Structures are given as structure tokens and as C-alpha cells.
């Protein structure tokens, strides 16, 4: 009888050790997501791995995008755009009333900042990261100009039929300029223009 009691105690301990532990309640409005692996970097211009891209794409946005299961380019942060006849000027009207979670308004300056930090070696934030796709995606960009607060223009060196598709890439995501100053934190908690914000642990 003592032997049976001892075995029951051992089995109870083993089963109890494998049982799921209660999870602490999350604050209202919090969504907890499990990932296969932790993201390496959440600066969209520097992401080269799948897990970082999966998370980052839900935090930052691009001027234009592909809807699910479609190859037709549709508005993203830009509500409309025009292309000059010579194919060298792409002008985007930005959606109004959008702010990043750090309070910075989404405007043409943010778009200019997001691209120029990757392609301009003299940009103050160019040396703060490695931008592996900058030359491939934006090597043909001569300049990014602020036309009006909610209008931005890309000037190309030569026509590129795929340029709108290029602007759907993660590296073309628009980030908050002031937040990028906090470079040590950017990889963990980027300022978002989407409803979701990151709180990686």
C-alpha cells in the first residue's frame, strides 16, 4: 500500500509538472502573439529575416500596397498618385489625419526621411544602420521632394516600370523621424502608423 501511494505521488508530480501554468491576465486592448522565433530587427529598412518581416509588416505601412491575393497595387498611406508622362516623377497625396504612435503626424517629411536615410550617404541617420536593399529598390531615385505637407514627389534618374511595386516593399515603409533618433530602441519598439504597436519582451 505504501508502494502504491509512493507511485501515485510520483505520477501526480510528473503530470503536474507537464500541465500548463496559468497565464497572467493581459491589460484590456492587448493582443499577445506567439512567434516561431523572435524578430531580429524591426527597422523595416534593415529587415532581412522572415520573423522580423512578419511582425514589422503589421506595425509599419507603405505608400502603396498589394491587397491579399491580388497583384493590383492599391493605396496605402497615399490616397492617390500621379506619374509624369516621361515616367520620372511620381507624386503622392498622403492620407490626412494619420499619426504615428509617438504623436508625430504622417506627412511628406516622414516619407522623405524614410527613404533618404537609406540612399543618401550624407544623411545624418545613414550611418546608424545597414540598409541591404537600398540600392536595389532605390538606386534609381534621384531625389525625394516635399511638395506640400501632405504631398511628396519621387524623382527618378530614369524610368522604371516597376517603381510602384518597389514602393510596396518593407524597405519602403514610412517611419517616424523623431523616433528614429532613439536608435537603440528602434529595433525593439518602432513607432507605428497602424492600429497595432509593438511591445516585444
178-187, pLDDT tens digit by residue? 755 444 444 4
Phi, psi of 93 (to 5 degrees): -95, 125
Answer for the pair 160, 140: CB distance below 8 angstroms, yes or no: yes
User: pTM, whole model, 2 decimals?
Assistant: 0.76
Place 155 in a pLDDT band, splitting at 50, 70 and 90: very high
Cell of 10: 510520483
List 144's β-bridge partners, or say none.
154
Q: Average pLDDT, stretch 30-37?
A: 76
Domains of the chain from N-terminus onward:
50-186 (3.90.76.10)
pLDDT over 80 (residue 169): yes
- Cβ-count burial 35-69 (b if 16+ within 10 Å, e if not): eeeebebbbbbbbeeeebbebbbebbbbbbbeeee
Cell of 128: 546608424
Amino acid at each position: 500500500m505504501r508502494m502504491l501511494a509512493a507511485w501515485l505521488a510520483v505520477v501526480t508530480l510528473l503530470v503536474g509538472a507537464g500541465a500548463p501554468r496559468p497565464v497572467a491576465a493581459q491589460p484590456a486592448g492587448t493582443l499577445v502573439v506567439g512567434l516561431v522565433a523572435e524578430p531580429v530587427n524591426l527597422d523595416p529598412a534593415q529587415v532581412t529575416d522572415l520573423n522580423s518581416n512578419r511582425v514589422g509588416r503589421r506595425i509599419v505601412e507603405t505608400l502603396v500596397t498589394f491587397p491579399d491575393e491580388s497583384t493590383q497595387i492599391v493605396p496605402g498611406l497615399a490616397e492617390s498618385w500621379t506619374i509624369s508622362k516621361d515616367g520620372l516623377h511620381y507624386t503622392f497625396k498622403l492620407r490626412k489625419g494619420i499619426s504615428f504612435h509617438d504623436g508625430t503626424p504622417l506627412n511628406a517629411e516622414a516619407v522623405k526621411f524614410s527613404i533618404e536615410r537609406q540612399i543618401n550617404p550624407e544623411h545624418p541617420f545613414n550611418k546608424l544602420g545597414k540598409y541591404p536593399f537600398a540600392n536595389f529598390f532605390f538606386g534609381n531615385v534621384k531625389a525625394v521632394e516635399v511638395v506640400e505637407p501632405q504631398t511628396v514627389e519621387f524623382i527618378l534618374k530614369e524610368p522604371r516600370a516597376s517603381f510602384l511595386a518597389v514602393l510596396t516593399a518593407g524597405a519602403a515603409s514610412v517611419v517616424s523621424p523623431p523616433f528614429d533618433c532613439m536608435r537603440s530602441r528602434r529595433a525593439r519598439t518602432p513607432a507605428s502608423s497602424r492600429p497595432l504597436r509593438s511591445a516585444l519582451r
